[in-house]
Amino acid sequence: LRSMVVDPDIKAGVIWAGVVANYPDLLTRWRRPNNNQPPPSLSTARRWRTQLQEQYGTPEENPDFYASISANSYLDDLSGPIQLHHGTADTSVPYEFSTTLADQLEAAGQPAEVFTYTGDDHNLSQGFSEAMARSVDFFDEHVKGID
């Protein structure tokens, strides 16, 4: 989404099971799935939540900051339509991130297509061919101008 805000030459975007949400949701609802494996070492990349809140406060303490860095705050400025794909059994990224984004796109008056893959996982393993065909058709229509 950020790319489509800063570059008007990007004509369309497709997001599969995207980690696209406002920062309060990212901080509270996006976690590494519990797959009975020990967590990776606490590297800088793994401590981003703590570091962000230590530097800027919590979303409740500094809502303007978090709105300013949330891609969802800039949906009015997108350069083209969006297509979303998400499996309902995704354990890596909450399915609700895509449904919330779809609602936000609609509220912003932005054209969007949303495809749900019932029972499918983060990789859209069951619906991969269908999702890929839909994505190619979407880019053909909105980037190449082929109907």
- At residue 50, the pLDDT reads 86
Q: In the structure, what pLDDT confidence band is assigned to residue 41 with cuts at 50, 70 and 90? A: low
Question: What's the rounded Cα separation, in Å, for the pair 19 and 41?
Answer: 22
* Of residues 146, 10, 130, the one with CA closest to residue 82: 10
- At residue 37, the pLDDT reads 57
- At residue 127, the pLDDT reads 98
Q: In the structure, what pLDDT confidence band is assigned to residue 39 with cuts at 50, 70 and 90? A: low
- The domains located in the chain, with CATH, are 1-20+78-147 (3.40.50.1820), 22-31+39-69 (no CATH)
Average pLDDT of the chain is 90
pLDDT at 32 over 70: no
CB 35 within 8 A of CB 47: no
| pLDDT tens by residue, 87-97 | 999 999 999 99
Token representation of residue 11? 């004509």
The 10 Å Cβ neighbour count of residue 123 is 14
